[in-house]
Amino acid sequence: MYQVTSKACAAVDGDNTENIMKRYSLIAFDLDGTLLDSKDGIASAFNASLKACRYPEVDPAQVHHLIGLPLDVMYAQIFNRTVSQVEFARLLAAYADVYQDQVFDMTTVMPGAAKLLEALNHRGVRLTVATSKGPSTAKLLDHLGLRRHFALVVTRDMVAHPKPHPDMLHYTLKTLAIKPHESLMVGDTIYDMEMGQSAAVDTCGITHGSHDREKLMAVSPTYIVDSYSEILDLIGRQRYNERDYGEVA
């Protein structure tokens, strides 16, 4: 069963989850660690870029922990200092050189993700993406067979400020003419939760990605879930037919 963590929902009596089921008009999803398993490819490409620019490689776990942030911020976190524009341009070029092989081709759809999106589409919920990835994201989603599920894909290059700034969600809500209280942000990192909170939308942390339950709980998302099926439970299954889509993990 999903966990309700926000003070706004704390007044619900006992475990009567029927009272907190809410129909959302829009659900915005993060990608890496939320719908896609890409951590090994990203860490591999990140270390390849460090090596190409004559920096020491790092433990992949350090990179995994930063997934969800834009690349320039990831490099700055690893170096523990500001990265100049010239320095970042070199690193980005090296990263791009191996992106196709070490990120694009190593990325897979998490088990149950496609069925979740199909079920939400069937319910009439508009789905979008809010990701720190760049312009090639739509191509990646096409490659993985997921692009058709999303009304809008918002990437880092489309807004002035990256996560956890709310720019991506502000852009989404304005473009689709949807109000914050009708929306839910789903992600696996605190950056997703903080972005959603800053945009005044409900937030749902999923624990199978980069940040564990304890870390997600520290920023008080509206909900915490351990599986995709709990997301369907969260918003209700009125129009979801398991015979048509199969069991959602």
Q: Predicted confidence band at 23 (pLDDT cuts at 50, 70, 90)?
A: confident
Q: What is the mean pLDDT of the chain?
A: 88
* Domain 39-104 homologous superfamily, CATH: Putative phosphatase; domain 2 (1.10.150.240)
Half-sphere exposure of 92 (CA within 13 A, CB side): 15
Q: Predicted confidence band at 102 (pLDDT cuts at 50, 70, 90)?
A: confident
Residue 51 one-letter amino acid = K
**What is the distance of C-alpha 60 from the center of its chain?**
19
pLDDT value at residue 236: 72
Residue ranges per domain, the chain?
3-37+109-245, 39-104
What are the φ/ψ torsions at residue 82 (nearest 5 degrees)? -70, 140
Intrachain domains 3-37+109-245 and 39-104 with the same fold = no
Is 30 tagged catalytic?
yes
72 neighbors 88 (Cβ within 8 angstroms): yes
* Domain 3-37+109-245 homologous superfamily, CATH: HAD superfamily/HAD-like (3.40.50.1000)
Is 32 tagged catalytic?
yes
pTM of the model: 0.85
pLDDT value at residue 21: 55
Residue 228 tokens, joined: 């995709």
Element of type H or E holding 191: helix 190-198
Q: In the predicted model, is pLDDT for residue 82 greater than 90?
A: yes
Distance CA 141, CA 212 (A): 25
Q: What pLDDT digit, counting tens, does each position of 187-209 carry?
A: 999 999 999 999 999 999 999 99
* Angle at alpha carbon of residue 194, lines to 44 and 157, rounded to 5°: 55
Q: What pLDDT digit, counting tens, does each position of 108-145 carry?
A: 999 999 999 999 999 999 999 999 998 889 999 999 99
- Please identify which of the residues 13, 15, 32, 188 carries the catalytic annotation: 32
- Please identify which of the residues 30, 37, 72, 202 carries the catalytic annotation: 30
Residue 97 tokens, joined: 């050189």
